[in-house]
Amino acid sequence: MIYTQEACSRIIEMAWEDRTPFEAIKQEYGLSESELIEFMRGHMTQGSFKAWRARMKGRKTKHLKLRSSAVSRSHCKTQYKIRKCK
C-alpha cells in the first residue's frame, strides 16, 4: 500500500513510541506487526531499523495482551512531528 508522506511519518512515529501498541497501528493503518516490520525495514536505514527491532523485541507495552492495565495510551509533546520517508 502507498501512504502519504504524513501517514508514513506517523506510522514510523507510532512504531517508535513505547506506549503505542501494534494493535493501534493495525487499526489506524491496516498494518499487522509483520507488515509493520517490513514497512519499517523499507523506510529506515539499516542501522535505524536494527535499533528499532532491538528496542521493540519483548517490549510488553507494544502488545495490548501483555501490557499492564495501569499503562494508559498517551502521547508525548513531540508525537506529531513530520519525518521524511525514503
Verdict on whether the full-model pTM lies above 0.75:
no
For the cut 60, the answer to whether the pLDDT of residue 76 exceeds it is no
pLDDT tens string 11-37: 999 999 887 888 889 999 999 999 999
Cell triple for 43? 523506510
CA distance 10 to 66: 24
9-37 burial: b if 16+ Cβ within 10 Å, else e: bbbbbbbbbebbbbeebeeebebeeeebb
